[in-house]
Amino acid sequence: MKPKTQYVCSNCGSVSLKWIGRCPDCDKWNTFQEETIIPKSSSINNSLLVQGSKPEKIQEIDTAEHQRIKTGSEELDRVLGGGIVPGSVILVGGPPGIGKSTLLLQVSNGISKYGKVLYVSGEESSKQIKMRADRLHINPENLYVMSEVNLDEILNQCSLDRYSLIILDSIQTVFRPNTESAPGSVSQVRECTSALVRMAKTAESALIIVGHVTKEGNIAGPRVLEHLVDSVIYFEGEHIQNFRIIKPVKNRFGSTDEAGIFEMTSTGLKSIQNPSGYFLTGRTGDASGSAIIPVIEGSRAILVELQALVTKSWFGIPNRKTNGFDINRLSLILAVIEKRAGLQISSNDVYVNAVAGMEITEPAADLTAATAIISSYTDKTLGVESAIFGEIGLGGEIRGVSFAEKRIAEAERLGFKKIFIPKQNESAISSYRNSSRNNPIKIVTLSTVKDLVYSLGKG
């Protein structure tokens, strides 16, 4: 008897009996993939289900044994909300070679101090993992390594012993024999993840699953994959840069506003204790075309240098190039500068760069970018010990932004003497105005883009 098939959208999980070009639920094109319909009797492993579950009073539930486990990495603990919760499932995504396996091997080393850790790899042999561990100077007694892609074998091994942490690298390489589709397909990824989640919840073992990402930067496989797990974290960064950023997009046990910053070294990923100092390293004096912005990453402010170069265009259409800054936002800022400040920049090439490969997306960078552009155009600066932030409106007005106090405090901590802020944020920084500290940072408020041009003219 020929097995029945259906088509499943890899983006939202919508099901259709025939192939269609555009998904009617999420409107994505060419996302339907064929898969074999699995009989209900074989789709669930009853041995993995919690038996005899009964309702309990929430006041009588004991959570003493579910204290968070420290990973040994301060930045990762920050992202996870203070550590790993026993029985939680974490999905880690990121481009190839970004450092996922390296970080997880370091996490294995930290968790092994509290209990046994099982590292399952479907992409590398046990000897290859050992070679990386030697390079990272990792040799814990409670770390067990297994090279396997058969899910049944993995689940069987997990049932033989109690592990504090299980790592699976990666979910796209694992397959279940009774699922008639190739590893990495929609049905295989969904079935394998569901079985692993049930196992982790039943055994109360923390589980970290590595997922490949698509060219759009999303984790490959059905969108339901992210709904099955407790936390989803993404790696960001460029291969040519040494720093990496980990951001959570989902976290049932903590905030999604945190971010972990690491530096890739020859001995693995190291937490950056002073990100502002790291990003300002190599800054060259009071050069024109440079401005400092305190950006908000998670719950903290980080000082980042934003550079601009304005030069005469030798072609009919001027160039507009950005690195780490939204090019559409750049076009808006240039139009406001020309219309509201009277500077004729439209005929020039304009290049904007966020130093160290940092991605700056918040509107608070508008004023910083405008400062760097005008500074390069006029060859005047705010001063080497100055920072600036604010959003620019189409009328040339400078609008207030959130977390003004944190931005000011970080600039003062790094020794900056002056900071330019929107006039609308003046009420939020009265504590700094009335500070009794020695040499507090000087705060200058700006209302319009013309005020910015005047401040640059004063030097």
The per-residue b/e assignment along 401-423, b for 16 or more CB within 10 angstroms, e otherwise, is: bebbeebbbbbbebebebbbbbb
pTM score of the predicted model: 0.78
Confidence tier at 170 by pLDDT (50, 70, 90): confident
Instruction: Check pLDDT > 80 for residue 399.
Output: yes
Residue with the bigger pLDDT between 427 and 381: it is 381
Residue with the bigger pLDDT between 215 and 193: it is 193
Instruction: Check pLDDT > 70 for residue 457.
Output: yes
**Mean per-residue pLDDT for 55-75?**
81
How much is the pLDDT for 2?
A: 61
Please give the share of the chain, as a percent, with pLDDT higher than 90: 53
Q: Which of 211, 241, 166 is nearest to 10 (CA)?
A: 211
Task: Quote the tokens at residue 78.
Answer: 């920050």
Angle at the Cα of 270 (from 324 to 142), degrees rounded to 5? 135
Average the pLDDT over each of 133-142, 179-188, 198-207, 368-377 and give the range with the smallest value: 179-188
Residue with the bigger pLDDT between 187 and 361: it is 361
H helices of 56-99, in order, are: 74-80
Under DSSP, the state recorded for 22 is B
Q: How far apart are CA 142 and CA 302, in angstroms?
A: 37
Segment 74-99, tens digit of pLDDT: 999 999 999 999 999 999 988 888 88
CATH architecture of 282-458: 2-Layer Sandwich (3.30)
Instruction: Check pLDDT > 50 for residue 50.
Output: no
Phi, psi (rounded to 5 degrees) for 166: -125, 130
How much is the pLDDT for 31?
A: 82
How much is the pLDDT for 356?
A: 81
How much is the pLDDT for 92?
A: 93
How much is the pLDDT for 79?
A: 92
Q: How far apart are CA 124 and CA 129, in angstroms?
A: 7
* Fold observed for domain 69-273: Rossmann fold (3.40.50)
Confidence tier at 42 by pLDDT (50, 70, 90): very low
What does pLDDT average to over the chain? 86
At 29 the three-state DSSP class reads strand
Instruction: Check pLDDT > 60 for residue 113.
Output: yes
Segment 248-303, tens digit of pLDDT: 999 999 888 888 999 988 889 999 888 888 888 878 777 899 999 999 987 889 99
Instruction: Check pLDDT > 70 for residue 51.
Output: no
Strand partners of residue 308: 352
Burial class (CB in 10 A: 0-12, 13-18, 19+), 215: exposed
